[in-house]
Amino acid sequence: MSEKTKELIQAALSVRKRAYAPYSQYAVGAALLTKSGKIYTGVNIENASYPLSICAERTAIFKAVSEGELMFDTIVIATKNGGSPCGACRQVMVEFASDMTVITVDEQGQIVMQSDVAEILPGAFDRKKLE
């Protein structure tokens, strides 16, 4: 495992502590590495009106985009059990980087899944479909 992957895992585990998950009690932290080498983190933020909640992965991606980053390399997602990204997060990921590496880890930092976006969202609807 590379030092950068270890750093991303540690960042995702660390930020997970700040998740706001009073309803599901399922805290999620994400650490996103951009092609420029910057790391953006995010947590899930729940709302009593559940559809208004946002996942950690999308929080990290939206933070990066709001800072002008559009090219992503790797995202690490930390949960209690290494849960996989939801469909909405997969769709947002494919918008920017279908070749991005996606790693999920459990609360001990053990890798549960390592794949790329195209593999976890086959047949994705992307910008090419709009041409």
What the block records as the tokens of 64 is 């990066």
Per the listing, tokens 């930020």 go with 15
Correct CATH for 3-130 of 1.20.210.10, 1.10.3720.10, 3.40.140.10, 1.25.40.80: 3.40.140.10
Residues with a catalytic annotation lie at 57
Q: What tokens appear for 82 in the block?
A: 């290494």
DSSP for residue 130: G
Residue ranges of domains in the chain: 3-130
Instruction: Kindly give the confidence (pLDDT) of every residue in the chain, 131 residues in length, as a single tens digit, with 9 standing for 90 and above.
Output: 899 999 999 999 999 999 999 999 999 999 999 999 999 999 999 999 999 999 999 999 999 999 999 999 999 999 999 999 999 999 999 999 999 999 999 999 999 999 999 999 999 988 888 88
- Exposed e or buried b per residue across 12-50, where buried means at least 16 C-beta atoms within 10 angstroms of its C-beta: bbebbeebebeeeeebbbbbbbbeeeebbbbbbbbeeee
